[in-house]
Amino acid sequence: MKKVLLILILAFAVVWMGCELKTPETPKLNLTQGQLALNKIVAVGNSLTAGYQSAGLRRDFQEHSYPYLIAKQLGKADEFEMPWIEAPGIGSTELTDPNYVAGPLEMTAEGPKVLDSTLITQVPTLLSNALLPRPYDNLAVPGADLNDALNTLTSEGNGNAFFDIVLRNPNLGNTSMIQQAIMLNPTLIFLWLGNNDVLGAALNGGDLDAITSQSDFQSRLNSVLSQLRSNTSAFIVMGNVPYVTDIPFVNTLDGIFVDFGALGKLPVMFDSNFQPIDFDPSDGVLYLPLQTAETNVEHITLPYLSIYSETGIGIPDSADIADFLQLLGQDQATAAATAQQLVLGIKANGLNPTGIPMPGNLTITTDEAQSIKDAIDGFNATIAQLAQTYQVAVFNANAMLTQLNENGIDGYTGKYVLLDPVNTAFSLDGVHPNNAGYAIVANQFIGILNQALGLNIPSIDTDQYRGQYAQALSSRKELRRLSFRALEGVKSIFIRESKN
Amino acid sequence: MRNKFLVLFVMLAMVSVAAAAGFQLYEFGARSSAMGGAVIANPYDASTLFYNPSGIAFVPGMRFYANLDLIFPKALYVGPEPLPWAGQVYNAESQVFTPIGLYFTFPVNERLTTGISVTNPFGLGLKWSDDFPGRFVARNTDLKSFYISPVAAYKLTDNFSLGFGLDLVIAQVLLERNVLLFDNRYEVGTSKLTGTSQLGIGFTVSATYKTDRFGFGAMYRHSVKNEFKNGKAEFTIFDDLSVPNVAAIASAILKDQNVNTAITFPGSFNVGVYYKLMDNFGVELDYNYVMWSVFDKLDIEFPDDPRLNQTVNENYQNSYTVRFGAHYDLNENFSLLGGFILDKTPQPIESVSPLLPDNDRTNYSVGFSYNTGKMQFDAGYMFVNIGERSTIENGVGMNDVGFDGTYNSNANLVFVSFGYTIK
């Protein structure tokens, strides 16, 4: 009896000991690390990431934002939540009636125009995804700079409605763009900020006070990256800053500059093809310089087009022309007589020789252009350095724009729509890409993802976007009869008070 | 307006409840359990009140019988490649569960015997560590059931009896898990759901045919729906969130409140055949068919805020268990016991989760019984081999909420019983 019990207890002990759990073999999902990184995509940035086009944001533009295009390539468009703005959209052009918000620019036979607007009180009805109970996957706010990404929570005090539209505070707990990105625990972050730390300077004719200091840029970007790094395990791709002087808003009129030798390069009166007008009916050449308040002007910005054709500011009057002809060697009497004739000819062509010099906020001087480029070079050096520190991949947007301007990409160019109606990659505002331009940007990001994460995301066929404005432009009248007044107001959200 | 907006943040993964094969227990008498639970056809002691109530007509006298189980479940999880926790092993915390069986039989006359039992036929739980990557699915689960079952058995002939019983059921549930907000992306704290059900009522119908050497038993146990009204949902928000302002959102939406749900314990149909091969050696084969398909989904309702309501899919399948048991009597007082069980899981791969990683099981049991006629003492041991089960098939994650990996689990059971008979 005792024996039996003993055997039982012994057997029992042996069985029990043999019941330790074996560690199973590590299972494998049919996923690579790279595919895992695509699990949750979040984009932070400014207008370029929001999909801003033609001085406005509207669903069809947002659907061509590069993060959305990439999500679409991945078959994840349905789950990629955007702050949809339904037609007519919200633009940054200032209207004369302050109770209305302009829609984006449209290309018409009369020129780029705001065709539609919304009563301010009706704006909330355009926001079809406003009750999404979580932060948007595309958190980009047009007009946001690095400081905004870290600190700006609402539109209060900055006049930029997009902060409220995207960040939706206080409902999201008074959280910043970067914090909302963290709340989504992303596995992949598209980060493209910094353009607005310098863009305003270019749009406002070389306003150097609108450039963020290098030290502030460095510390703010450092803060953005350290917050994202320490609170997420995301793969991060960060875009750098293109030369904002190489965009149509700034360089479309570069072709009207003529080298007068000792007098330097001066902008001159131009025709409907943005070409200098030769006022000499005989074999010689005679170009008439435009009047500028600043000297050593290198660029004249796009809004000058409407001023040139409508008010005539910057167009020399007969005294200006006579002075200039004397500089060229004519005697006073001949110069005065010739000037009289030329002014008659100018007026006959519907232009108004006012003799009033164009103000400095329409012109960028050589020094201003250099300062802007220097600032961007500094920013990009900071981006490259911090990218290393924080193990971030860099999308070289600066090189992309240079390539677009020099050689074109996929047959597209960086020229303004009036110079290259079919193949332009820029939208009507001359600052932001159009559908094709954003597809080119998306392909650049896709290339980086494919290389860094060993993925095979197909590129977007950019051909499908060719000729976005072709129809309206086919009936285009000559330049002088086109209206460019709408362009004057497109920059409001990109130009803020001094950065320092 | 603000509150209305905030409430939308609560995400579906907040709570889920599940019962399972692993939540079903069948060990309510040490002698019966040591024989693998294959005792339907051969009533021996008062625990037949649980296994086959009609059998009490064949166990004479007024009987008390009490059983205690000590259950030591073990479970571990291994994360799959290429997830950040690939290859890491997480062990469930050691716990001991102690279901009981209490029995009393009272013969009214020659033919009619009555009895009552208290058992816990559905129970168990699993607790994982705070850093377990599946803590959003389940971190601590505990489900208990109390079946109070009055029974009457009537001998129609000397060899044949019928039994009818009621199951008066109360269940208790505890579910703890971590809470994610914002599309299930951001961990803000923990939720704890507790509740005691209202009284659920079921019944049993059973029959026994018994001769000296041969026995046949059958029982139908009806399912019991347990309604949890006014359960409590309590939330704890972490105080070290990476985005501190989220704490305010989280506490605004995750308010402690009442929660309602219902869990149906499945019904079963059980039959068994016993044959005494030798005067001191008998064997039995039983078959349980458990109608788990009643456990298809779980509706969790927040009466104060219906927008938080959710449905969790479980989609259990009906399943079966085959039990083989034997007793070998060394003398008139002392028997050696053994059993073997094949237990088919009702759990589809989609529902395999940290709540309960179930699998087809093979169980082995041994034990002994010492019976003086007046006093009975039984003890036994069972090893429940649940084994490895992965939610990954051919590299594809199958889990319903996307938490995939491989589990391995087993359980050690020790049971002791004491009986007293007044003839």
Same structural domain, A212 and A122: yes
- Note whether residue A299 is domain-resident: yes
Same structural domain, A266 and A242: no
CB nearest to B78's CB, from A24, A185, A230: A24
CA distance A183 to chain B (A): 5
Residue of A nearest to B252 (CA): A173
**How far, in whole angstroms, is CA B154 from its chain's centroid?**
30
Distances (CA, A) of B42 to A239, B11, B269, B423: 79, 52, 17, 20
Query: CB–CB of B396 and A30 under 8 A?
Result: yes
A84's tokens? 């949809």
CB nearest to A26's CB, from B9, B81, B245: B81
Do B43 and B52 touch, CB atoms closer than 8 A?
Answer: yes
Which phi and psi (to 5°) does residue B342 adopt? -110, 120
| Helices A435-453 & A66-73 angle (0-180, nearest 10) | 60
Residue A133 preceded by cis peptide, ω within 30 = no
CA-based nearest residue to A136, from A49, A38, A195: A49
CA-based nearest residue to B165, from B125, B120, B105, B109: B105
Same structural domain, A139 and A151: yes
Tens digit of each residue's pLDDT (9 = 90 or more) over B146-174:
999 999 999 999 999 999 999 999 999 99
Please identify, among A362, A392, A427, the residue that sits at the C-terminal boundary of a domain.
A362
**Local confidence band at A492 (pLDDT 50, 70, 90 cut-offs):** low
Residues in A 152-171 with any Cβ partner in B closer than 8 A: 170-171
Among residues of chain A, what percentage have pLDDT more than 70?
Answer: 93
DSSP A310: I
- Note whether residue A16 is domain-resident: no
A30: contact with B, CB 8 A cutoff = yes
Domain count, chain A: 2
Same structural domain, A346 and A406: no
Cα–Cα distance for residue pair B67/B85, rounded to 1 Å: 42
Same structural domain, A331 and A194: no
Residues in B 244-263 with any Cβ partner in A closer than 8 A: 245-246, 248-249
Tens digit of each residue's pLDDT (9 = 90 or more) over A381-404:
999 999 999 999 999 999 999 999
Do B329 and B345 touch, CB atoms closer than 8 A?
Answer: no
Residue of B nearest to A172 (CA): B249
Tens digit of each residue's pLDDT (9 = 90 or more) over B65-99:
999 999 999 999 999 999 999 999 999 999 999 99
Query: CB–CB of B396 and A16 under 8 A?
Result: no
- Note whether residue A184 is domain-resident: yes
Cα–Cα distance for residue pair A111/B260, rounded to 1 Å: 64
DSSP A227: H
B133: contact with A, CB 8 A cutoff = no
Provide the pLDDT for residue A497: 55
For chain A, the residue count is 500
A108: contact with B, CB 8 A cutoff = no
Task: Report strand pairing: A235-239 vs A393-395.
Answer: parallel
Same structural domain, A127 and A194: yes
B393: contact with A, CB 8 A cutoff = no
| Burial classification of residue A127, based on how many CB atoms lie within 10 Å of its CB (0-12 exposed, 13-18 middle, 19 or more buried) | middle
| Helices A332-348 & A318-327 angle (0-180, nearest 10) | 130
Do B152 and B164 touch, CB atoms closer than 8 A?
Answer: yes
Per DSSP (E only), the strands in A264-387 are 265-267, 297-300, 363-365
Among residues of chain A, what percentage have pLDDT more than 90?
Answer: 79
| Burial classification of residue A261, based on how many CB atoms lie within 10 Å of its CB (0-12 exposed, 13-18 middle, 19 or more buried) | exposed
Query: CB–CB of A183 and B248 under 8 A?
Result: no
Do A457 and A446 touch, CB atoms closer than 8 A?
Answer: yes
Q: What is the mean pLDDT of residues A73-97?
A: 94
Query: Does position A484 have pLDDT exceeding 70, yes or no?
Result: yes
Tens digit of each residue's pLDDT (9 = 90 or more) over A252-286:
999 999 999 989 999 999 988 888 999 988 888 99
Question: Does residue B34 sit in helix, strand or coil?
Answer: helix
Query: CB–CB of A21 and B408 under 8 A?
Result: yes
Residue of B nearest to A11 (CA): B366
DSSP B86: B
CA angle B123, B125, B128 (to 5 degrees): 180
Same structural domain, A435 and A479: yes
Provide the pLDDT for residue A248: 96
CA-based nearest residue to B35, from B22, B26, B46, B24: B26
With beta carbons under 8 A apart, name residues in chain A contacting B335: none
CA distance A295 to chain B (A): 51
B contact test, residue of A36, A78, A183, A226 with most B CBs within 10 A? A183
Instruction: Provide the β-strand partners of residue A336.
Output: none
Same structural domain, A258 and A244: no
CB nearest to B249's CB, from A4, A28, A173: A173
B80's tokens? 């799959």
Average pLDDT, chain A: 92
Query: CB–CB of A231 and B87 under 8 A?
Result: no
Write the secondary structure of A37-63 as one string of H (helix), E (strand) and C (coil).
Answer: CCCCEEEEECHHHHCCECCEECHHHHC
B contact test, residue of A5, A16, A19, A42 with most B CBs within 10 A? A19
Cα–Cα distance for residue pair A364/A265, rounded to 1 Å: 13
Q: What is the pLDDT along chain B (423 residues), one digit of tens a residue?
A: 333 343 344 333 333 322 234 578 999 999 999 999 999 999 999 999 999 999 999 999 999 999 999 999 999 999 999 999 999 999 999 999 999 999 999 999 999 999 999 999 987 689 999 999 999 989 998 989 999 999 999 999 999 999 999 999 999 999 899 989 898 899 999 999 999 999 999 999 999 999 999 999 999 999 999 999 989 999 999 999 999 999 998 988 889 999 999 999 999 999 999 999 999 999 999 999 999 999 888 888 989 888 777 787 889 999 999 999 999 999 999 999 999 999 999 999 999 999 889 999 999 999 999 999 999 999 999 999 999 999 999 999 999 989 999 999 999 999 999 999 998
CATH at residue A387: 3.40.50.1110
With beta carbons under 8 A apart, name residues in chain B contacting A189: none
The count of CB pairs under 8 A between chains A and B is 131
DSSP B33: H
Among residues of chain B, what percentage have pLDDT more than 70?
Answer: 94
Same structural domain, A231 and A332: no
Task: Quickly count: other Cβ atoms within 10 Å of residue B81's Cβ.
Answer: 17
CA distance A63 to chain B (A): 22
- Note whether residue A3 is domain-resident: no
Query: CB–CB of B2 and A174 under 8 A?
Result: no
Same structural domain, A243 and A258: no
Full domain range(s) for residue A325: 251-362
Question: Amino acid identity, residue B196?
Answer: T
Spatial CB neighbours of A251, under 8 Å, sequence gap ≥ 6? A245, A299
Do B49 and B204 touch, CB atoms closer than 8 A?
Answer: no
Q: Kindly tell me the sign of the dihedral angle through the C-alpha atoms of A123, A129, A135, A140.
A: negative
Tens digit of each residue's pLDDT (9 = 90 or more) over A47-58:
999 999 999 999
Please identify, among A336, A362, A388, the residue that sits at the C-terminal boundary of a domain.
A362
CA-based nearest residue to A494, from A214, A275, A136, A249: A249
- Note whether residue A368 is domain-resident: no
CA-based nearest residue to B363, from B387, B389, B330, B346: B387
Which phi and psi (to 5°) does residue A63 adopt? -70, -15
Question: Does residue A306 sit in helix, strand or coil?
Answer: helix
Query: CB–CB of B8 and A23 under 8 A?
Result: no
Do A67 and A44 touch, CB atoms closer than 8 A?
Answer: no
**How far, in whole angstroms, is CA A163 from its chain's centroid?**
17
Tens digit of each residue's pLDDT (9 = 90 or more) over A162-188:
999 999 999 999 999 999 999 999 999
**Residue whose tokens read 């107001």:** A489
A381's tokens? 């050096």
CA-based nearest residue to A241, from A198, A299, A302: A198
For chain B, the residue count is 423
- Note whether residue A425 is domain-resident: yes
Do A110 and A477 touch, CB atoms closer than 8 A?
Answer: yes
Same structural domain, A38 and A104: yes
- Note whether residue A19 is domain-resident: no
- Least confident range from A4-18, A118-132, A431-445, B111-125: namely A4-18
Cα–Cα distance for residue pair A302/A490, rounded to 1 Å: 10
DSSP A384: H
Write the secondary structure of A130-174 as one string of H (helix), E (strand) and C (coil).
Answer: CCCCCCCCECCCCCCCHHHHHHCCCCCCCCCCHHHHHHCCCCCCC
Residues in B 280-339 with any Cβ partner in A closer than 8 A: 330, 334, 336
Same structural domain, A309 and A195: no
Query: CB–CB of B5 and A171 under 8 A?
Result: yes
CA-based nearest residue to B55, from B115, B119, B118: B115
Cα–Cα distance for residue pair B278/B267, rounded to 1 Å: 35
Distances (CA, A) of B67 to B29, B80, B418: 5, 41, 7
Query: CB–CB of B381 and A12 under 8 A?
Result: yes
Q: Which domains does chain B have, with CATH numbers?
A: 2-422 (2.40.160.60)
End-to-end CA distance of chain A: 95
Instruction: Provide the β-strand partners of residue B220.
Output: B205, B269
- Note whether residue A386 is domain-resident: yes
CA-based nearest residue to A108, from A478, A487, A469: A469
Task: Quickly count: other Cβ atoms within 10 Å of residue A458's Cβ.
Answer: 10
Please identify, among A304, A334, A362, the residue that sits at the C-terminal boundary of a domain.
A362
CA distance A136 to chain B (A): 10
> b vs e for B314-333, b when ≥16 Cβ sit within 10 Å of the residue's Cβ?
bebbebebebbbbbebeeee
Query: CB–CB of A27 and B368 under 8 A?
Result: no
Residues in A 253-272 with any Cβ partner in B closer than 8 A: none
Cα–Cα distance for residue pair A24/B80, rounded to 1 Å: 11
CA angle A152, A43, A76 (to 5 degrees): 145
